[in-house]
């Protein structure tokens, strides 16, 4: 087995692990921020600036997402999907799961249900 084969197998295993992690995250109590998942999908030798250039955005956007300081927008999800061969729904779904879990950790006021009226 040559070095290229080993590198390909290693990368394939990493991507498979990440996909499994995404599936499990939808059932988790504390899902990972999409930036944590994205970090695993960016090659080790690629800088944030290079990733930003590939995505045709400024460097601040992926940096903030990778560091959990901002979320994945629909526009960014479309770019990630095109770049990494995934779906935008996967990235938006991860963000929604993370946002929902974060919101559930905050105290909620008592809200009286709106009564239904017969039509």
Q: What's 105's DSSP letter?
A: T
Alpha-carbon torsion angle 12, 24, 103, 66, nearest 10: -10
pLDDT in tens, 4-14: 665 665 666 76
pLDDT in tens, 59-83: 999 999 999 999 999 999 999 999 9
Taking the model in full, what pTM does it have? 0.72
Q: Domains for the chain: give ranges and CATH numbers.
A: 33-98 (1.10.260.40)
Distance CA 40, CA 66 (A): 10
Q: Are the C-beta atoms of residues 34 and 22 closer than 8 Å to each other?
A: no
Identify which of 85, 87, 83, 41 has the alpha carbon closest to the alpha carbon of residue 66. 41
């Amino acid at each position: 087995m040559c070095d290229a084969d080993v590198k390909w197998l290693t990368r394939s295993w990493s991507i498979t692990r990440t996909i499994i992690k995404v599936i499990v995250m939808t059932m988790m109590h504390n899902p990972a921020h999409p930036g944590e998942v994205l970090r695993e999908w960016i090659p080790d030798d690629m800088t944030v600036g290079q990733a930003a250039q590939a995505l045709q955005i400024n460097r601040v956007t992926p940096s903030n997402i990778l560091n959990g300081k901002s979320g994945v927008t629909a526009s960014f999800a479309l770019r990630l999907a095109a770049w990494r061969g995934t779906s935008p729904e996967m990235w938006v779904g991860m963000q929604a799961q993370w946002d929902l879990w974060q919101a559930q950790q905050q105290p909620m006021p008592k809200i009286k249900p709106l009564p239904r009226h017969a039509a």
